[in-house]
A and B are shown apart, each in its own frame.
Chain A
Amino acid sequence: MSDISTAFVLAFQLIATLDGELVDIVGRSLFVSLTAMVAAAAIGLPLGAVIAVYRFPGRRLVIVALNSLMGLPPVFVGLMVYLLLSRAGPLGVLGLLFTPAAMVIAQTVLIMPIIAALSRDAMRDLYEEYREQLCSLGAQPHHAVLTLLWDGRLRLVTVVMAGFGRAIAEVGAVFIVGGNIAYVTRVMTTTIALEASKGNLALALALGLILVLLAVGVNGVAAMFGGVTSYRRA
């Protein structure tokens, strides 16, 4: 019991004194996951809107695929990206394995389907409401896609936040492609796993607390935007 309370005290000390290692790890986590979020949103949001608007052969298949990919196990994504980036892999020449760039790629692959599938759901509802009016005003499908992305922006913020939440909290993919190298590819989740197994509870706990705070913050932002959305809908 005293071990645990000591760990809590030490954890708070690390946070309060902005411990160098802690700041480095949190900073890298945020950098990797925010970059992955931006990349995944840049692909996923337009993809979601396009699937909501256009009717093409194989569309249902794409939707089923995206919905299934939402539940991709991070370790599997990590393994696939690892194979892709390893020396013998097709992208091995880039020399990206065990770098933050590899982690960004893995997390992008992991959350892009989430952002695409959720934004497609949001855009579908909006398009249902807009379709006849847009058509009446002379909008072509590509106009409709841009209109949905702009008019659905508040709901899409929540969607992107959901993607970020998944990215920052996952451990399997970044562990495999990053290698958990200190001061290079070590992020919050991989450090927690490592330090906990070593019995260094203070650092693990401090990072865990920050992770929870981030999760609450992200949800708070999402709820705020969700609230604005429902107000606008009234």
Chain B
Amino acid sequence: MSVLPLLLKGVSVHAGGQILIDGIDLEIEAGPKTVILGPNGAGKSLLLRLCHGLIGPTAGKLTWSGSDSTHARRRQGMVFQKPVMLRRSVRANIAYGLKLHEIPTAHRQERIERALAQTGLGHVAERPARVLSVGEQQRLALARAWALQPEVLFLDEPTASLDPSGTGAVERIIEDIHAAGTKIVMTTHDLAQARRVAEDVIFLHNGRLTERASPAKFFSAPESEAARAFLDGRLLW
């Protein structure tokens, strides 16, 4: 049973007297890779956390398809900007999520091996995760999320702290995850990356969704002034 589409209706987040997310209406459907673009502080990470259920909205409603919220929770994964590595081996990091998802032990091994192979981490499987390079750590975060075979994967600026080769590796893995049938929802402030990855663009500015378009349309003829300014590299406040 699919948990998509995800519907957001008038979703807002207020904190400390500030409006961080302002009345967003959005439908996230299965299929194309969605990229959430916007300058720093636009609310991109917050929107992802909202969708993933890590924080709750101050106002408005998020609804996953199907009524079972526990089921929806189990069908999504998230990879953070700074990879969070459990203080155990690479293999144990992947096993951890599988155990929580109550994957039978007999299947766990096979899934771990596959995830390691798909992310090129087979040779470091027994190493403590925290001694890996940042690029390898981010690949492990992807492997850990992918092993759970999520229907939706949220990625919060997954390459923000990586060098070009690390970025390339992560983008290839994201492509593979997408090809294997997982919906990708990713934030970035990197325009070049957005052009490479996006099949569907959502533009956020000051906590508002100002535009949603196909990449062809968004990058050639953005509708909103904020998006035009962002694409031209003019500073946005």
Given contacts A130-B86, A136-B54, 20 further A-B contacts (CB under 8 A): A129-B84, A132-B54, A132-B84, A133-B84, A136-B52, A136-B77, A136-B78, A136-B145, A137-B77, A137-B96, A137-B97, A137-B101, A137-B148, A143-B100, A151-B86, A154-B87, A232-B128, A232-B131, A234-B130, A234-B131
Which residues of chain A are within 8 angstroms of B77 by Cβ–Cβ distance?
136-137
Complex-state Cα separation, A233 to B101, whole angstroms: 27
A199 at the interface (CB under 8 A from B): no
Known: A139-B100, A233-B130. A151 touches B54 (CB 8 A): no
Choose among A130, A150, A233, A234 the residue that contacts B84 (Cβ–Cβ < 8 A): A130
Measured in the bound complex, the distance between the Cα atoms of B80 and A138 in whole Å is 15
A-B contact pairs, 25 of them (CB 8 A): A129-B84, A132-B49, A132-B54, A132-B80, A132-B84, A133-B84, A136-B54, A136-B77, A136-B78, A137-B100, A137-B101, A137-B148, A138-B74, A138-B100, A138-B101, A147-B86, A150-B88, A151-B86, A151-B87, A232-B87, A232-B130, A232-B131, A233-B130, A234-B130, A234-B131
Establish whether residues A137 and B144, one from each chain, have CB atoms under 8 Å apart when the complex forms.
yes
Interface contact tally, CB-CB below 8 A: 45
B100:A135 contact, CB within 8 angstroms: no
Q: Is the CB of B97 within 8 A of A138?
A: yes
Interfacial chain B residues near A233, Cβ < 8 Å: 130
B14 within 8 A of partner (CB): no
A132 to chain B: closest residue by CB: B54
Residues of the B chain whose Cβ atoms lie less than 8 Å from the Cβ of A143 = 100
- Size class of the contact patch on chain B: 20 to 34
- Cβ contacts A28-40/B at 8 Å (1 or 0 each): 0000000000000
Query: Which residues of B sit under 8 angstroms from A132, Cβ to Cβ?
Result: 49, 54, 78, 80, 84
A135 cross-chain contacts in B, Cβ below 8 A: 54
Residue of B nearest to A229 (CB): B87
Chain B residue nearest to A130 in the complex (CB): B84
Say if the beta carbon of B195 comes within 8 Å of chain A. Answer: no
Q: Which residues of B contact A138 (CB under 8 A)?
A: 73-74, 97, 100-101
- Across-interface contacts of B101 in A (CB, < 8 A): 137-138
In angstroms, Cα B96 to Cα A137, docked, is 8
Contact mask for chain B residues 128-161; partner A; CB cutoff 8 A; 1 contact, 0 none: 1011000000000000110010000000000000
Contacting residues, chain B, for A150 (C-beta < 8 A): 88
Please give me the residue from chain B that is nearest to A152 by CB atom. B87
Question: What residues of chain B lie closer than 8 Å to A129, measured between beta carbons?
Answer: 84
Q: Within the assembled complex, what's the spacing in Å between the Cα atoms of A135 and B73?
A: 10
Contact flags A128-158 to B (C-beta < 8 A → 1, else 0): 0110110111110001000100111010000
Closest to B128 in A: A232
Instruction: Please name the 6 residue pairs, one residue from A and one from B, whose CB atoms are nearest each other, closest first.
Output: A133-B84, A151-B87, A137-B97, A136-B78, A138-B100, A132-B54
A133 to chain B: closest residue by CB: B84
Nearest chain A CB to B178 CB, angstrom units: 19
Which residues of A170-216 are within 8 A (CB) of B? none
